[in-house]
A = this chain, B = another copy of it.
């Protein structure tokens, strides 16, 4: 891994000296750089994130570190991943305006960029654990997924434009390998960095003995590694969504790559389902049912608005290589059936990707707070087991749950099941 010799990690101490004269920062923060309020808030696992405030306003600065922050220098990770996060943010802004933070400045050798400070937004995962509601959550995420999926694909783009962009993103060579092992492979054997709630072991052991399941997951991995249908966010979990009561934004496309259209949608829904299954540990009995119902409504809205937006774009913006109007509309043939067939395929793959994400978050390296913060291991294992088994059902037989009411019934059934 080559690092630009001028690369230096930022610190609170050196910050205003190093970025004080960058116009994109100075004009938005305002006042004397020496008096800026600088906080490092990177609660994440990988990068430095600073919030800088001054007389005029605030901006956020994100810089890649040459190693995995939560592990240390023993796990190196190329800083060029920040370049791709920047490229992804720029493309998302064009393809699904208003959702990603606006980018003000990009310094390639320093692997850093400056972006819009989202305020008073907080991380969606925290809201879901706290029992807060967000208006239009499912609609916004479904629409975001549809817009980025469609407009990043050859349904919209010309062939050379798309191939060039795939070539660019192929340069992000180290990142896909992380998703490939942490998400798709590690959950299904005793990989070194895995951990899980000990009480969950009987369920885990059985899952890992399911050879047909593992084959299905690997077939989906094959699509994930190779099928460059569109530019993905790549890590669209509830920790990558920031929201107020009424505004939904998506951050952190650091794992962006070209991949299957269904992937982001499936991952987002998985995180809603994990919020759903973990609720009994976070809610009073009196609020539980209503809040869980709200989460299921979010999931339904997410799928429904994905389809509606995708269909709308299919009809109004199909200007790319694929399903050209010259073959359909211009010959008096509707292409609507083809759109519906493609949406059916995307739905099934999304459900299967959803199941995989549900597994890796309780079996692999990176768990999520929804379950992780449940202190009683017996309760945690019980709720995780429901989640793991529903994930298995989605991978084994997605075609049984393509109908959204069947999906909702499945979630409700597992949320009552006494597994452990």
Contact = CB atoms under 8 A, between A and B. Distances in A.
Interface of A: 153-154, 158-160, 162-164, 166-174, 176-177, 180-181, 185, 188-189, 191, 208-209, 211-212, 214-215, 218-219, 221-223, 225-229, 258, 321-324, 326-328, 330-331, 333-335, 337-338, 341-342
B173 A170 contact: no
A225 B177 contact: no
A327 B226 contact: no
Contacts of A164: 170, 173
A160 B188 contact: no
A189 B219 contact: no
User: So how many copies of this chain end up in the complex?
Assistant: 2
Contact of A154 (B211, B214, B222): B222
A208 B170 contact: no
20 contacts: A154-B226, A158-B177, A159-B225, A162-B225, A163-B170, A164-B173, A167-B168, A167-B169, A180-B321, A181-B321, A189-B331, A211-B333, A214-B327, A214-B328, A215-B337, A218-B327, A219-B341, A219-B342, A223-B227, A226-B228
9 residue pairs, one from A and one from B, having the closest CB atoms:
A167-B170, A159-B177, A211-B333, A215-B338, A160-B173, A227-B227, A226-B229, A218-B323, A226-B228
Contacts of A330: 189
A208 B154 CA distance: 22
A80 B258 CA distance: 24
A159 B326 CA distance: 38
Contact of A215 (B169, B170, B323): B323
Contacts of A172: 163
Contacts of A170: 163-164, 166-168, 170
A162 B228 CA distance: 13
B177 A338 contact: no
